[in-house]
């Protein structure tokens, strides 16, 4: 599909360039051939004036060499054809390269979209299949009691809840992945956003008896409060989710030159070195997270977090030691230059 589009785009580039080039050549030819004729005529006039009155005029062909004039015109046409052919070949090659470069980001975007759709459908299929088979088994059971039916329904509701949270996360990711979805940036209090995010994860922290230490300072930055709230909820939620009970999670801010560093430190299971390279990829979940914590999730949180940080022209990094804990650091510019 893209090869055809590339050729079509090249043809359009060529058409425009050749239209301009041929138009210029016609103008050049018209002007120069007029100049040649004018030169020939003025030469004839000068010779006539220099001859004594009684001397006969030489034959006109001797005064104005018409062969020379038409030969000059032919040479002119020849040169213009050669120049246009060179322009055709060179601009054809350059046009083909340029068309490739123009289409490259579109091809990558389509590729990315295709992967997104197939990854999402793959993730959606697992809970759907489990839901379907649980219901089918229950339906086929001729001695189904009310108690068993209720258990089946409870399990189904759990699966539906998982599906709902997956579709919510997918929607959230799609929203932050929109190519022109630049959110409105305003001067906001980072501290207020962090306090709100802490409140959102408090129920889970209480459940696991995890203490959240808010060591942030009052800092104002230009940002999108909804995006930043989502970002800190994701990072705090992970810090709690991947920690054993009765530990603590600390959140700190530090102002550097034109930037703010926000770090979230936990005393949880940590991340293996080979997983560190992939945790920001969509749908990536480390094996230790699955086996040791049984924490629910689809591996979308950090992909969303990365998109939010990118939207703020910031950076996110992680330092982690297995069995010791992790520190996620977000660096955000105080002012957005868009
Ligand atoms: P989810 O938590 O839904 O699986 P995320 O994208 O938020 O997805 O995280 C991707 C993976 O990164 C997690 O599955 C887990 O393996 C790892 N991870 C993220 N945060 C932490 C953390 N604070 N401690 C240990 N592992 C983490």
**DSSP for 116-159?**
HHHHHHHHHHHHHHHHHHHHHHHHH-TT--HHHHHHHHHHHHHH
User: Is the beta carbon of 266 within 6 A of some atom in ligand 1?
Assistant: yes
280 within ligand 1 shell (Cβ under 6 A): no
Cβ of residue 299 lying under 6 Å from some atom of ligand 1 = yes
Is residue 326 lining ligand 1, measured as CB closer than 6 Å?
yes
Q: Compute the distance from residue 301 Cα to the ligand 1 centre, in Å.
A: 7
DSSP 270-310: ---HHHHTTTTSTT---HHIIIII-----S-HHHHHHHHHH
CA of 302, closest atom in ligand 1: 6
Task: State phi, psi for 303 to the nearest 5 degrees.
Answer: -65, -40
The set of residues, in sequence order, having a beta carbon less than 8 Å from that of 173 and lying 6+ positions away, is: 282, 300, 303, 304, 307
Q: Label the pairing between strands 248-256 and 211-215.
A: parallel
Ligand 1 test: best mutation among 235, 271, 277, most atoms within 8 Å of CB?
A: 271
Distance 321 CA to ligand 1 centre (A): 14
| Nearest CA, atom 16, ligand 1 | 286
Q: Which residues of the chain have pLDDT under 70?
A: 51-64, 179-182, 289-293, 338
And the tokens for 322? 């297995």
Among residues 292, 247, 251, 253, the alpha carbon closest in space to that of 272 is found at 292
- C-alpha span between 259 and 335 (Å, rounded): 8
pLDDT for the residue numbered 11: 96
CB-ligand 1 contact for 238 (6 Å cutoff): yes
Q: Is ligand 1 within 6 A of the CB of residue 289?
A: yes
Q: What confidence score (pLDDT) does residue 289 get?
A: 66
How far, in Å, is the centroid of ligand 1 from the Cα of 325?
Answer: 12
Query: From the CB of 282, is ligand 1 less than 6 Å away?
Result: no
State the distance from the centre of ligand 1 to the C-alpha of 309, rounded, in angstroms: 17
pTM: 0.74
CB 325 less than 6 A from any atom of ligand 1: no
Whose alpha carbon is nearest atom 14 of ligand 1? 285
pLDDT of residue 52: 66
What's the 163 CA to ligand 1 centre distance in angstroms? Answer: 19
Helices within the chain (DSSP H only): 2-50, 60-63, 66-140, 146-177, 190-207, 225-241, 273-276, 287-288, 301-311
From the CB of 302, is ligand 1 less than 6 Å away? Answer: yes
Question: Which residue, by CA, sits nearest to atom 7 of ligand 1?
Answer: 301
Give me ligand 1 centre to Cα 276, in Å: 10
Which ligand 1 atom minimizes the distance to the CA of 325? 24
The DSSP secondary-structure symbol of 268 reads: S
> What pLDDT score does 67 carry?
82
């Amino acid at each position: 599909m893209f090869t055809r589009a590339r050729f079509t785009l090249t043809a359009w580039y060529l058409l425009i360039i050749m239209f301009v080039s041929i138009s210029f050549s016609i103008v050049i030819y018209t002007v120069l051939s007029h100049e040649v004729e004018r030169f020939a005529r003025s030469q004839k006039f000068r010779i006539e004036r220099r001859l004594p009155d009684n001397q006969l005029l030489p034959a006109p062909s001797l005064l104005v060499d018409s062969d020379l004039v038409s030969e000059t015109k032919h040479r002119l046409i020849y040169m213009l054809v050669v120049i246009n052919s060179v322009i055709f070949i060179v601009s054809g090659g350059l046009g083909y390269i340029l068309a490739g470069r123009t289409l490259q980001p579109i091809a990558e975007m389509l590729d990315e979209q295709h992967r997104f759709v197939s990854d999402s459908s793959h993730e959606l299929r697992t809970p759907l299949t489990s839901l379907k088979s649980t219901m089918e088994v229950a339906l086929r059971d001729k001695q189904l009691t009310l108690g068993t039916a209720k258990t089946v329904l409870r399990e189904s509701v759990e699966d539906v809840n998982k599906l709902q949270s997956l579709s919510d996360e997918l929607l959230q990711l799609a929203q932050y992945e929109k190519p022109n979805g630049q959110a409105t940036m305003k001067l906001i209090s980072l501290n207020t956003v962090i306090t709100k995010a802490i409140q959102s994860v408090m129920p889970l922290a209480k459940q696991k008896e995890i203490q959240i230490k808010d060591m942030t300072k009052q800092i104002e930055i230009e940002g999108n409060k909804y995006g930043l709230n989502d970002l800190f909820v994701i990072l705090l939620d992970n810090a709690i989710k991947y920690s054993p009970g009765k530990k603590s999670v600390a959140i700190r801010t530090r102002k550097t030159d034109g930037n703010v560093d926000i770090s979230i430190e936990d005393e949880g299971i940590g991340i293996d070195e080979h997983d560190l390279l992939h945790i920001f990829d969509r749908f990536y979940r480390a094996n230790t997270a699955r086996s040791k914590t049984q924490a629910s999730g689809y591996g979308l949180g950090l992909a969303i977090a990365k998109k939010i940080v990118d939207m703020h022209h910031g950076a996110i990094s992680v330092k982690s030691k297995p069995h010791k804990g992790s520190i996620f650091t977000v660096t955000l510019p105080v002012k957005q230059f868009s």
